[in-house]
Amino acid sequence: MRRFVWVTVLLGCLGAARAEVGLSASASASVCSKYVFRGQVLGPLGLMGDASLEVRPLPKLALRAYGWKYLRLDSGAKRLQEIDYDLSATYRVLPKIDATAGIVYYDNWHEQSDGNDTAEWYAGATLDLPGQPGLFVYTDYRNSVGTMILGRASHTFATKLTRWSLDVSGEVGLHTRHTRHGFNHAQGRAALTYDLGCGLSVGPAIDLYLTPESVDPARARPVYSAALSWSRGF
């Protein structure tokens, strides 16, 4: 039933686009050495891909549908492990402030079962300033595992190399739940991007994650992940 709802929403977005409202789309794919989510290593070497569709029915309003998947490749066991579905709305409430609210569903698979699915409501704001700083709150309403507060920032730097740019981003997460409160993780990313033209880009990236022992006792040390990515905007 839930997949039918997502498909219906996407078709509605496409119908709105035909009514001559603003429409944009993007897609990307990458090979990653690890799948790390909020500081926890959830999978080994794998393929990741995502796609998004955005409709602007009003000058200050953007509606967005986003999908992401992870296919693990360890030991030749090629299998789909996770697909995420995300729907959100963003509104420019002040000249430099965008407010966003949405829902994300995490559809997980394991070898012997359909996995431990979960879902979150989220809301937050982003400042239209250098670094694009933002603050978001995610609450798990399906399994009641707690609330995550995420602070984010990102910036793109031009380089002296033709068509190359350096994309830097960071995230800090604080978690509150019945048994634990406080720092959850920190993440930093540096990615080199080469503009191929016609909306295409490609480049390598590296991520560094810091996680306390209370979150992942087996990995209470810095965790690195490397990726090679391709993206396309429409």
CATH number, domain with residue 194: 2.40.230.20
Q: Evaluate if residue 50 carries a pLDDT over 60.
A: yes
The 10 Å Cβ neighbour count of residue 13 is 20
The three-state (H, E, C) secondary structure of 13-47, written as one string: HHHHHHCCCEEEEEEEEEEECCEEECCEEEECCEE
Which tokens is 148 given? 């995550």
pLDDT at 18: 47
pLDDT at 41: 83
pLDDT at 136: 98
pLDDT at 43: 84
User: Which residue segment(s) compose the domain that 50 sits in?
Assistant: 2-233
Indicate the pLDDT class of residue 215, thresholds 50, 70 and 90.
low
Specify the 3-state DSSP secondary structure of 12: helix
Residue 109 corresponds to which amino acid?
Answer: W
- Cβ-contact 45, 193 below 8 angstroms: no
If one counts the domains in the chain, the total is 1
Sign for the pseudo-dihedral over CA of 79, 224, 140, 129: negative
**CA–CA separation, 234 and 139 (whole Å):** 32
Q: Evaluate if residue 112 carries a pLDDT over 50.
A: no
Q: Evaluate if residue 3 carries a pLDDT over 60.
A: no
- Cβ-contact 37, 53 below 8 angstroms: no
Of 76-80, 134-138, 162-166, the range with the lowest mean pLDDT is: 76-80
Indicate the pLDDT class of residue 146, thresholds 50, 70 and 90.
confident
Residues 6 or more apart in contact with residue 33 via CB below 8 angstroms: 44, 45, 224, 225, 226, 227
Of 88-97, 188-197, 217-226, the range with the lowest mean pLDDT is: 217-226
Which tokens is 215 given? 């979150």
**CA–CA separation, 167 and 155 (whole Å):** 6
Of 4-13, 24-33, 127-136, 177-186, the range with the lowest mean pLDDT is: 4-13
pLDDT at 1: 44
- Cβ-contact 229, 30 below 8 angstroms: yes
pLDDT at 8: 47
Residues 6 or more apart in contact with residue 211 via CB below 8 angstroms: 39, 40, 184, 185, 219, 220, 223
The rounded mean pLDDT for the chain is: 85
What separation in angstroms does the CA of 52 have from each of 20, 32, 105?
18, 20, 15
Q: Evaluate if residue 188 carries a pLDDT over 70.
A: yes
